[in-house]
Amino acid sequence: MDNNKANTVASLMSVKQKSGKTFSQLAEETGLTNVYVAQLLRRQAQLKPETVPKLKAALPLLSDEQIHEMMKAPLRSYDPNLIQDPTVYRLNEAIMHFGESIKEIINEEFGDGIMSAIDFFCSVDKVKGVDGKDRVVVTFDGKYLPHTEHKTEHMVSRLMRKE
């Protein structure tokens, strides 16, 4: 992460910490998912103009400069060392372990295609299991995108050549 982004993230996380609010509390106040709020504060998502008043109300210590920075298109990246964090490692492991089966079910239920990670919602919830112990629920809610057959008659660049 470059120094400017790291400094911005540190300042945004400081505002959150000073508020004493959780990501879930901020999500409830803004109408966003808790993961998206975290993405905003980590500069992995862009703050949209219609959300500014809600976020400012939820985090009144946010400066106009911070809001302006959050409204810029972010560099969506990750630190390769992040995989060393046990939580991130286990999430990656779960996707690797269950990924092939999830892919098969997507193909079976929807056809040949993928789940979008752009038209996508993600949330983390805490629930009680049947044994009464805390459980983590991670929800991926992505738009289905079918793979298309590559017909030259649908290829705009080929059609333009004929004109």
What are the pLDDT digits (tens) for 57-115?
Answer: 999 999 999 999 999 999 888 788 888 999 999 999 999 999 999 999 999 999 999 99
Whether 144 is covered by a domain: the verdict is yes
- Concerning whether 65 is annotated as a catalytic residue, the answer is no
- Give the pLDDT of residue 16: 98
Residue 121 lies in a domain: yes
CA-to-CA distance for 149 and 111, rounded, in angstroms?
Answer: 13
**CATH number, domain at 91?**
3.30.1160.10
Active site residue 116: yes
The one catalytic residue in 14, 77, 90, 104 is: 90
Residue 162 is predicted with a pLDDT of 63
User: CB of 125 within 8 A of CB of 139?
Assistant: yes
Percent of the residues in the chain that have a pLDDT greater than 70, as a whole number: 98
DSSP per-residue codes, 56-91: HHH-TT--HHHHHHHTSPP-----GGGGGSHHHHHH
Please determine, for residue 129, whether its predicted confidence score (pLDDT) is greater than 70: yes
CB neighbours of residue 109 within 10 Å: 8
The one catalytic residue among 14, 63, 77, 116? 116
Pick the catalytic residue: 63, 76, 77, 93? Answer: 93
Domain final position from 57, 76, 95: 76
pLDDT at 109 (0 to 100):
96
Query: Do residues 103 and 121 share a domain?
Result: yes
Q: How far is CA 30 from CA 12, 35, 48, 114, in A?
A: 16, 12, 12, 29
User: Could you tell me if 63 and 84 lie in one domain?
Assistant: no
In this structure, the number of other CB atoms found within 10 A of the CB of residue 34 comes to 19
90 is catalytic: yes
Q: What is the pLDDT of residues 37-58, one digit of tens each?
A: 999 999 999 999 999 999 999 9
> So what's the pLDDT on residue 76?
84
How many C-beta atoms lie closer than 10 Å to residue 88's C-beta?
14
User: Do 40 and 9 belong together in one domain?
Assistant: yes
